[in-house]
Structure 1
Amino acid sequence: MIARKGLCLLVLLFGCLLPNSANAQQEQAEAILQVSYTGVEGELADNVESYLGILEYAGEPALSIFRVRFLARRGEAEIKQALRPFGYYHTEVTSEISSTREQVAVNYTINLGQRTRISAVNLNIEGGLKDDDALQVLRQSIPVKVGAPLLHTDYERTKTMLRNLAAERGYYDAQFTEQKLQIELSEAAAIVHLTYASGERFRFGDVSICCNHLSSSFIERYFQFSKGDYFHTRDLLDLQVALAGSDYFETVEVAPLWQEATDQTVPVSIRVTPNQRDFYQVGPGYGTDTGARLTLGFDRRWVNDRGHRLSSLLRLSQIQSTGFVDYIIPGKNPARDQYSITGEVIDRSYEDLDSTLYRTSVRDTRHYNRWQRTYQVSYQQEDFRFGTEPRETSRFLVPSAEFSYVSSNLDPRNRNLVDSGYRVSARLEGASDSLLSSATFVSLTLSGKTVYSLTDKWRVLARAEVGAMETDDFAEISPSLRFFAGGDHSVRGYAYQQLGPTNDEGVVVGGRYLAVASAEVDYLVAPNWRVALFTDMGNSGMEWSMSWKQTYGLGVRWLSPIGPVRLDVAQAIDEPDKPWRLHLTIGPDL
């Protein structure tokens, strides 16, 4: 009887407790799991979050309390593991769990402890790389250094730098025979052991050219290496870029044939496919310096198997029409040097200037990294008239030399936009009345432009140009050889070549001197859109004491796939009665 009463009492008690337990579990299930930590930030915090498994459940209904405790304890070990790549091997981590009806919170307190530092770097290089000058340069830049905090990424980056150097310089058999990172916990010190057996450096072997429509001897002029030279991937990359940029080929593939390498030499394969031989261009356009225009162009990308090219263009516009034919002969290094013979006709009728120019030129152009120099000899005849004056004809044999230097850093977000850089150029030309010329003169023009980024959004742009001419008979100088100011690339707010000395009829006839300057600031208001404020000043004259004209304006820039498109409006300060003038230009900042 007593046993039966006891059993009934247990059943009754279990029945009373069961609903309460179910309610508790329901309340627990409704609680949200929250996870937090203190003691680290930045990249340390980022790595902790990538390792900490309990974060996968954060913000979700909490798991059972037993599961939460298990994950919390495991998280302590995960945090320690996440901090070791940064040299923290003495980290202490404690976790605390608290709960309410609304949430279950797990908080970690992280004490980083003493950071491990590099006490020794044992870097041993065996083979040909040991005496390579490039290795000595690399040793100065490897990130693992005695006394520096231990970073596993620096250790791995050091190994990658050695591998890349060996691959770049032709140590094809290179490999690590020892790579060990020794941690001394009691001393909070790390010792780096690296032994790299590079083997001997390979040399260039035979070069095979497949599917080439030009002569092999011509293609070989692009090579900056010879058979037997030490291998360097930069030579192959430069060759690929040069061939791809030549416009002769649609596709270019340059590759070392390591599987065929023998006796420390590696053959090279060049595979190309021809581009379309003829290229036609037809298109309308508009420029505020030229008005509406129509362009017709024809290029023959190669005339013969020696790489000669032919380029021709006819551009008809409201203000100035131009036609030219250019025959181009590649130089000894076709990627950098070329000769050209050009015939052109320029007919201009604008602002009371009526001019027709016939010119034939022979040009020698060379590139030296950022430098370019051009020697040219041209013979020109120009028939011209200012206003109602009688029509005149002048003839000149003009030798000239031009030098330019460009240095620029492109915006990584838009390769058509200059982040910072500058351009300077100088042009010297002249003629003698004793040598097929109507008058004697010598002329020098200097120009420069700079772009500087103040912040990610703000840029400052400035440009300047000065020119001077010495002559014994200015009246005989052709308009194309005189100095004018005004226009899209000169003093905005004035029409093209609107500024300069005038004759008795008030027609601008150009001057012996030129001075132009501009300052501009632009701001990135949206992706691929900038707004600008600017001021231009300048003039041309017969003396340096000429008065300067100044304008101010604002503009919009669209960073298009083909380069910046600029729309500016400008007003002359000295002539406020004149309307604002619109200017539209397309092209690079430098």
Structure 2
Amino acid sequence: MATTLDRSTHGYLVTFTITPGPLLPITEITARVTGPGSNDPLFVDWKKHFPLKVGKPLDTTLYEKAKDDLYNIATRHGYFESKMIMSRISIDLTKYYATVTIVFETGPRVRFGKTTFTKSLFHEKFLRKFLRYHAGELYDADKLDLTQQGFVDSSYFAQVVIDPKENKIRDNAIPIKIKIIPRKSREYEFGLGYGTDTGMRGTAGITWRNIGGDGHRLQLLTRASQYNSSALIKYIIPGIDPAHDSITSSFGASNINQSTGNANNAKLAIAYARAHGNWDSALSLAYLNEQYNLSTLPTTSTELVYPTLFITYYDVDKKSQPDKGISVEAQFTGALKAILSETNFTQVTTTIKTLYTIQPTKTRLLFRTGLGRTDIANLVNLPLSLQLFAGGTDSVRGYSYNSIGPGRNLVTASFEIQQRVYGDFYAAIFADAGVVGNQNLFQHVNVGVGPGIVWLSSIGQMELGIANAITQPNTPWTIEFSMGGVL
């Protein structure tokens, strides 16, 4: 280091010139975990991936992080009596090297003890179904995190606080106290709005969240619009794992009015649904009684008993305003005359949606495709509510809702570019295409294009656009509005 002193009319100026020497290398590392938890996989992994290496420069930030990681592992795996036996950096400036020593004693690992809940209207037997651990198992904070996530993801609780009582450990067992703050026992739903596909619409509903203390739910919901209306009653029973599965019995009636047909129906169904990670699935059995007509054909009545398997996959980089992601939906259904039905049919449909954002320019690329196939001897015998159609805001924009079809085969595709212009507002341009038919499917492809304005709000994407069916001459532009998740 060199120092200079300069005098000026304003005073003195001191200048220090520092020439750094070579980085201090590490010549020896002792990183050891002792005690009953020395073979715990997390401690073994800590030693295997110790951030400092012999021959590499000393980095005190990595040294402190290595110690912090030990304490974090001990806390999350229940080594509450753990302690640092030795942590030392020795530096020899004469020989110019450093040695690092960390010796950590784990102490015993506790086990889960008794779990208690604050008083609520839920039966304790029901609440215990959410637990991801059992008394006597080795303590693992990850299991507490999964337990809390299950409580939060359900629709029953406004807040759940899980408190391991470290100061009350007895006989190597830690008691767990869970504070439950339920949501209101009744939830009301009211809504008025306008949709491109529905016209003016209104919604009214009520949900009872906890019937009998075991988490049974009853839902009543009515929807009315210019074109389609429905009423639905659902009784939902939590499954063995109430955070992820349920059994639903439902009865509903609906009225369908669209350019390609009209229908009135009643439907009784029972369904088992399960969620697992990014996957959701539902298996249902339904009885359908429907009076319908397709276009100008006379009204037909039919009864069907049919199972349906519905599978979805959903993956995004973040829940709120994702930058990239994919969703896949697939549905398999069918009926047999031999089993209380008036016709034989099988049907498969799938929808794939993707989102990718080019970060430097904040350009969002959205792609959607849909495929469907129905096998049936006479398409007229399939109820309107089960027919394949395209057209509308979520299908082929520029065409009215379900105006393309029906047919045995369905193919749709959509590509949209959204460019950020200010804050959460984007300018968009899109092109949609779709066909529904029996033979010569791509002889006439229905295409709709247009621009739009997009707002990425806290409750989802809101998009207002105009679209024109360019393959259908003399078709006026239509206003298209949609709201909800982009995937």
* Preserved CA contact (<8 Å) 2:111 2:138: yes
Could you say what the CA RMSD is over the residues aligned between the two structures, in angstroms?
Answer: 2.1
Is structure 2 residue 145 aligned with structure 1 residue 237? yes
In the TM superposition, what is the alpha-carbon distance from 1:105 to its structure 2 partner?
6.4
Secondary structure at 1:302 match in 2? strand
1:328: which partner in 2? 236
1:305: which partner in 2? 213
- Mapped to 1, the partners of 2:49 and 2:116 lie a distance apart of 37
Change in 2 beyond 3 A, CA 1:128/1:533:
farther
Change in 2 beyond 3 A, CA 1:397/1:273:
same
2:346: which partner in 1? 442
In the TM superposition, what is the alpha-carbon distance from 1:524 to its structure 2 partner?
2.6
Is structure 2 residue 277 aligned with structure 1 residue 374? no
- Output the amino acid matched with 1:530: Y
Change in 2 beyond 3 A, CA 1:388/1:485:
closer
Q: Could you say which structure has the larger radius of gyration?
A: 1
Which structure has the highest strand share of the two?
2
- Mapped to 2, the partners of 1:284 and 1:324 lie a distance apart of 18
- Mapped to 1, the partners of 2:198 and 2:4 lie a distance apart of 77
2:26: which partner in 1? 118
Q: Deviations over 1:132-187 (max 9, x none)?
A: 11223333444323344332221111111111111111111111111112233345
Mapping for residues 278-297 of structure 1, pairs under 5 Å: 278-297=186-205
* Preserved CA contact (<8 Å) 2:32 2:47: no
Mapping for residues 62-141 of structure 1, pairs under 5 Å: 92=1, 94=2, 96=4, 109-141=17-49
2:62: which partner in 1? 154
- Output the amino acid matched with 2:412: V
- Output the amino acid matched with 2:219: S
1:408: which partner in 2? 316
- Output the amino acid matched with 2:411: A
- Output the amino acid matched with 1:473: N
Q: How many residues align?
A: 485
* Preserved CA contact (<8 Å) 1:236 1:255: no
- Output the amino acid matched with 1:447: T
Which 10-residue stretch deviates more, 381-390 or 275-284? 381-390
- Mapped to 2, the partners of 1:581 and 1:104 lie a distance apart of 77
Is structure 2 residue 477 aligned with structure 1 residue 580? yes
Structure 2 length-normalised TM: 0.94
1:526: which partner in 2? 422
Is structure 2 residue 48 aligned with structure 1 residue 163? no
Secondary structure at 1:160 match in 2? helix
In the TM superposition, what is the alpha-carbon distance from 1:568 to its structure 2 partner?
2.5
2:399: which partner in 1? 494
Change in 2 beyond 3 A, CA 1:127/1:352:
same
Is structure 2 residue 179 aligned with structure 1 residue 271? yes
Secondary structure at 1:111 match in 2? coil
- Mapped to 2, the partners of 1:487 and 1:106 lie a distance apart of 76
2:486: which partner in 1? 589
Mapping for residues 186-201 of structure 1, pairs under 5 Å: 186-201=94-109
Secondary structure at 1:170 match in 2? coil
- Mapped to 1, the partners of 2:451 and 2:26 lie a distance apart of 57
Mapping for residues 335-354 of structure 1, pairs under 5 Å: 335-351=243-259, 353-354=261-262
Structure 1 length-normalised TM: 0.78
Task: Quote the sequence identity (%).
Answer: 29
Q: Deviations over 1:472-504 (max 9, x none)?
A: 22110011111111111111222211212xxxx
Secondary structure at 1:416 match in 2? coil
- Mapped to 2, the partners of 1:102 and 1:256 lie a distance apart of 65
- Output the amino acid matched with 2:408: R
Change in 2 beyond 3 A, CA 1:193/1:428:
same
- Mapped to 1, the partners of 2:483 and 2:80 lie a distance apart of 48
2:364: which partner in 1? 459
Is structure 2 residue 85 aligned with structure 1 residue 177? yes
- Output the amino acid matched with 1:245: D
1:475 to 380, 392, 397: 380
- Mapped to 1, the partners of 2:477 and 2:97 lie a distance apart of 71
- Mapped to 1, the partners of 2:149 and 2:317 lie a distance apart of 19
Is structure 2 residue 418 aligned with structure 1 residue 418? no
Secondary structure at 2:137 match in 1? coil
Q: Deviations over 1:57-93 (max 9, x none)?
A: xxxxxxxxxxxxxxxxxxxxxxxxxxxxxxxxxxx4x
1:3: which partner in 2? none
In the TM superposition, what is the alpha-carbon distance from 1:337 to its structure 2 partner?
0.8
Secondary structure at 1:134 match in 2? helix
1:567: which partner in 2? 464
* Preserved CA contact (<8 Å) 2:260 2:403: no
- Output the amino acid matched with 1:308: H
* Preserved CA contact (<8 Å) 2:294 2:380: no
Q: Deviations over 1:438-493 (max 9, x none)?
A: 21011111221122222152222212111111112211001111111111111122
Q: Deviations over 1:314-348 (max 9, x none)?
A: 11111111211111000000001110011111212
Which 10-residue stretch deviates more, 167-176 or 140-149? 140-149
- Output the amino acid matched with 2:285: V
1:15: which partner in 2? none
Q: Which has the higher contact order (CA 8 A, sep 6+)?
A: 2
* Preserved CA contact (<8 Å) 1:416 1:559: no
Secondary structure at 1:419 match in 2? coil
2:52: which partner in 1? 144
1:552 to 449, 470, 479: 449
Which structure has the highest helix share of the two?
1
